[in-house]
Amino acid sequence: MSTSALKDSVLSHLKYSLGKDPEHATTYDWRVALSLAARDRIVDPWFESTRATYRADAKRVYYLSMEFLIGRLLEDALVNTGVYDDAKAVFDDLGLNFGEILHDEPDAALGNGGLGRLAACFLESLSTLGIPAMGYGIRYEHGLFRQRFEGGRQVEEAEDWLTQEHVWEFERPEAAFEIGFGGQVYENGGRAVWRPQEAVIAQAFDTPVVGWKGEWANTLRLWGALPKTVLDLQRFNAGDYAAAAEPEALARTISRVLYPDDTTEEGKHLRLKQEYFFTAASLRDLIRRFEAEHDDLRDLPKRVAIQLNDTHPAIAGPELVRILHDERGMEFETAMEIARGCLNYTNHTLLPEALERWSDGLMGYLLPRHLQLIERIDTAHQTQHPGIAIREHGEVKMGELSFIMANRVNGVSALHSDLMKVTVFKDLHDMHPDRIVNQTNGVTPRRWLRTCNPRLSGLITDAIGDGWIKDAERLSELEPHVNDAGFLDRFVQAKRENKVDLGQWIAESMGISVDPDAMFDVQIKRIHEYKRQHLNILETIALWQEMRDNPNGDWTPRVKIFGGKAAPGYVFAKEIIYLINSVASVINNDPVTSKWLKVVYPANYNVTLAERLIPAANLSEQISTAGKEASGTGNMKFALNGALTIGTLDGANVEIREHVGADNFFLFGMTAEEVMERRTVEGHAWDAISKDPRLARAVDALRNGTFAGGDHDRFRGIADNISGPDYFLVASDFSDYWRASREVDQAFRDTGHWARMAALNTARSGWFSSDRTIRSYASEIWDALPSKPLRNIAAE
C-alpha cells in the first residue's frame, strides 16, 4: 500500500463520494474522505472472512450486548490496516493538520462504561484472533448524554453523533425483521400462537470491525427500529398530521436513546421493549443464517455460541424456546436443550439493586407468551432442583433466568467469580457446581497501548520488536530492559512528553496550568458511591489542609485528575461531582498550595478522553470498596501504560497486583471479607472518624462551608453519609488510604525507582489483553476455533 495510492483514494472519495473540490473541502470533508478510503481497505478482508467462515462451516460466536462503547474508529482502522503512516504523510503533503482531522470524528458512545467498552474490546480481539463472530446491539440515535458543568454541577445534553453521516456503517434494508409486542396468546391445534398487538421493523446496520494487520474483519450489527407503516395516510388525508406520524414516532422511540443507567425505575416499559427488540431480531437473524446452510435446527449448538453480556438480552432464553417449540414444533424439552446448548451468560455485578427484575404485569403485557414460557422453564427446573424460583414476589428475576438457561455462566475476575458462588448465585451454584467459570476481563492492546500511546509503543517496539501487539504477553520481554538506564530514561521521557501534551490540553481547554513534573494522579470512571470518588476528594482535602498547616514542607507535587459521568437520576453521585468541582475551584486558586496541588476535572469523560489521559498518568486510582467492583478494565489500561496503581483488593486489582508484583502496587484497605464484617459494627463510620483527626477535619470542611462559599448545607448530605451509614466504608478505609498515598509520595520522589516500577507494570500487564480473555472464552465456553488468517495487508 503506497502513500500515493492512498492519496488518490482520499481525493477520489472527496470528489465522487462527497462532491467536494479540494479547495473548498472542510475538515469534516477530509475526515470523511479518509474514513471512506480506510473503509475500502477493510471491505475485502471483511468479505473474505465471511467466505472463509462459510467454507469452513465454522462455529460462529454471537455477542449480544445492549451496549458497545466503541469510541472513534478512524485511527484504530488506520493503525490496524497498517496505513497510519501513509495517511499522515498524505495529509502532511496536502498541508493539512492530520491530528485535527482525526479529532473531528465524533465519539460513538453507545454505552455507559466498562460493560460496553468490554464488548468493543472483545469485538476487536475476536477479529484479531480470526474467530468468526458478530456483535449484536442497538443503533441508538442518541448515545450516552454529553456532560457539561455549570457552576460545578453536571448538566446533561443529548448526544447527537448520528446527525453527521456515520461513515463506517452499511445500511442493510434487506436484513429486516418484524418484532411484535403485546397482544394475546391463542391455541391452535395444541400449539400456542402469539398474536402481537403492535409491531415494529428491526433493520440492520453493519459496521466492519477489523483486527490487527487487517487480516480478519467481523461485523458489529446494530438494529434500528422503523415503523411498519411510515404514515397513516387516512389520518393524513383527514388533516390530522400529528396522529398520522404517530406510528413512525412510536417505532423510532425504541432505538432513540441509550439508557444512562441500568438501575433507574423510569422508562421500564421502553427498556424492556428495547431488550426484546434487539434480542429477538438477533436470534431471527442468526437462525436465518444457520438455515441458509443447514437444515436441522437440532445442530444449532454445534454451529452457534451466543454470549449474553449481562442480563439485558436474557429474554433470548424464552424467545429461542418459543421459536423452536411454538413456531418450529419441537418438543419443549428438546427446545430447552438446544437453547441451553447455545446460550451463555456473563454476570457483571453483585450489587443487588443492579440485578434486573421485571414485574409479571409488565412482562405479561408486553410479552405474554414469554411469561408463560418462563413459568414453564421455572417449573421444569424446580422439578429437578427444588428450592429456587425464577419468579418471585410477582417478578421475573433475569439473573436466575439467565443462569438456568445458560450452558456456562461467567464472572469477570477471579474474585468476582468466587463471590458469585457464595452470594448472588449461591443456591444455583450448589445445584449446578460446574456451570460458573471465571473469565477475567481484558482490554485490547491495539487501542489501549499501540494507538493511544505512540511514544511508549514506539519505544517498546524498538526494544523488543512489534510481536507484542498481537501477543501482548511478549511484553514480558521488556523485563531485562528495566535494568537498563538508557531504556528507563526513554521510558520516563515518553511519559513526560505525554504529560506535557496533556498539560497543554488542560491549559487550553480548562485554563488551568499544571506542572508536567508533578505526579499525574488519575481517577476516571462512572461516578458511583462504590467506586468512591468521595474517598479520593476527601484525601485531597486533608492533604490540602496539611499543606496549608505546613507551607514550608517538602511536598510532592500532585495533579489530581478526575473524569466521569453520573447517571442523571443519581442524586448522590451528582453531589460528588459538585463537591469535586467546588474543591477544585478553592484549591486551584490557593496561592499557598498551588505549586503542589491541583484538581482537574475535564467534563464529558468518554473513550476519547480516556485515550488522552491514560498515557499521561503516573498513578491509577482503583479504590472501590472491596467486593463491589466486578473487575474493572480501566485499571488494566493504566497498568499497561506504565501507571502504578493505588488500590484495594477488589475485582481484577487482585490479579493485576499478582502479575505486576506486590512491590509495584500500592495496596490499602479492607478485604471483601473485612468489609462485610466491618458493616456489622455499629457506628463504624463515627468510630473511624473519631480515631483519625485528619479525617475528622476533612469531613468538617464539608460542613463548615469551606468549599461552598460559607454555605453549611451544600455538602451536608455527603458529610452525613460519610459519618453516618457510610455503606461503602469511606471513613473506615480513609486512614489506610492516607498512609498508602503518602507512600506513593515518597516513592515518586525516587524517580529512578519509580520508573523501574512503572516499566515493570507495562512489562507484566500483557496477560490483561482481551486476546487472552477471548481465547479463554473460545476454549472454555464457546468451543470455537480461530480461523486461519487470510492475508496480510501490511505486507502487500
Ligand X SMILES: *Cc1c(COP(=O)(O)O)cnc(C)c1O
Q: Compute the least distance from the CB of residue 382 to ligand X, in Å.
A: 37
Minimum CB distance to ligand X smaller for 633 or for 648: 633
634 binds ligand X (CB under 6 A): yes
Piece in contact with ligand X (CB under 6 A), picked from 44-52, 569-577, 631-639, 775-783: 631-639
Among 503, 632, 642, 647, interactor with ligand X by CB under 6 A: 632
Q: Is 348 considered catalytic here?
A: yes
Minimum CB distance to ligand X smaller for 109 or for 518: 109
Q: In what order do the strands lie in the sheet with 644-647?
A: 597-600, 558-563, 519-524, 619-622, 644-647, 666-667
Cα–Cα distance measured from residue 21 to residue 68, given in angstroms and rounded to the nearest whole number: 35
Minimum CB distance to ligand X smaller for 600 or for 784: 600
Three-state SS letters, 263-285: CCCCCHHHHHHHHHHHHHHHHHH
Minimum CB distance to ligand X smaller for 315 or for 630: 630
Cα–Cα distance measured from residue 105 to residue 99, given in angstroms and rounded to the nearest whole number: 11
Distances in whole angstroms, Cα of residue 298 to Cα of each of 36, 279, 339, 342: 42, 20, 10, 11
Minimum CB distance to ligand X smaller for 215 or for 771: 771
Max Cα-Cα span within the chain: 89
Q: Compute the least distance from the CB of residue 198 to ligand X, in Å.
A: 35
Minimum CB distance to ligand X smaller for 347 or for 706: 347
Which residue among 289, 525, 534, 659 is the active-site one?
525
Q: Is 397 considered catalytic here?
A: no
Cα–Cα distance measured from residue 209 to residue 315, given in angstroms and rounded to the nearest whole number: 26
- SS3 label, residue 57: coil
Q: Compute the least distance from the CB of residue 37 to ligand X, in Å.
A: 27
Which residue among 31, 325, 495, 531 is the active-site one?
531
Among 324, 566, 607, 644, interactor with ligand X by CB under 6 A: 607
Window 636-675: residues binding ligand X (CB under 6 A): 637
- SS3 label, residue 490: helix
723 binds ligand X (CB under 6 A): no
Q: Return the C-alpha cell found at 325.
A: 417449540
633 binds ligand X (CB under 6 A): yes
Cα–Cα distance measured from residue 92 to residue 96, given in angstroms and rounded to the nearest whole number: 6
Among 610, 626, 675, 688, interactor with ligand X by CB under 6 A: 610
Q: Is 288 considered catalytic here?
A: no
> Under a CB-based contact definition with an 8 Å cutoff, are residues 10 and 33 in contact?
yes
Minimum CB distance to ligand X smaller for 30 or for 605: 605
Which residue among 39, 526, 532, 558 is the active-site one?
526
Which residue among 633, 706, 762, 773 is the active-site one?
633
Piece in contact with ligand X (CB under 6 A), picked from 44-52, 546-554, 628-636, 711-719: 628-636
Q: Is 268 considered catalytic here?
A: no
Bridge partners for 225 per DSSP: 202
Window 500-539: residues binding ligand X (CB under 6 A): 525
Bridge partners for 511 per DSSP: none
Piece in contact with ligand X (CB under 6 A), picked from 60-68, 88-96, 177-185, 633-641: 633-641
Window 83-142: residues binding ligand X (CB under 6 A): 113-114, 117
Q: Which of 102, 314, 93, 131 is nearest to 211 (CA)?
A: 131
Q: Which of 395, 394, 195, 402 is nearest to 279 (CA)?
A: 402
Q: Compute the least distance from the CB of residue 618 to ligand X, in Å.
A: 17
Piece in contact with ligand X (CB under 6 A), picked from 168-176, 277-285, 363-371, 627-635: 627-635
Bridge partners for 221 per DSSP: 136, 206
Q: Is 633 considered catalytic here?
A: yes
- SS3 label, residue 530: helix
Q: Compute the least distance from the CB of residue 486 to ligand X, in Å.
A: 32
606 binds ligand X (CB under 6 A): yes
289 binds ligand X (CB under 6 A): no
Q: Compute the least distance from the CB of residue 259 to ligand X, in Å.
A: 16
Q: Return the C-alpha cell found at 346.
A: 456473563
Q: Compute the least distance from the CB of residue 427 to ligand X, in Å.
A: 29
With CB atoms as reference, the residue minimizing the distance to ligand X is 634
Window 543-602: residues binding ligand X (CB under 6 A): none
Minimum CB distance to ligand X smaller for 9 or for 633: 633
Nearby residues of 648 by Cβ (< 8 Å), 6 or more positions away: 622, 623, 624, 625, 626, 667, 668, 669, 670, 733
Size of the site for ligand X (CB under 6 A): 12
Q: Is 706 considered catalytic here?
A: no
Q: Which of 165, 40, 159, 34 is nearest to 101 (CA)?
A: 34
Cα–Cα distance measured from residue 489 to residue 514, given in angstroms and rounded to the nearest whole number: 22
Minimum CB distance to ligand X smaller for 368 or for 634: 634
Around 527, how many Cα atoms within 13 Å sit in the side-chain half-sphere? 29
Which residue among 39, 59, 139, 348 is the active-site one?
348
Pseudo-torsion of CA 217, 218, 222, 226, nearest 10°?
80
Catalytic residue IDs: 348, 525-526, 531, 633, 637
Which parts of this chain interact with ligand X (CB under 6 A)? 69, 113-114, 117, 525, 606-607, 610, 632-634, 637
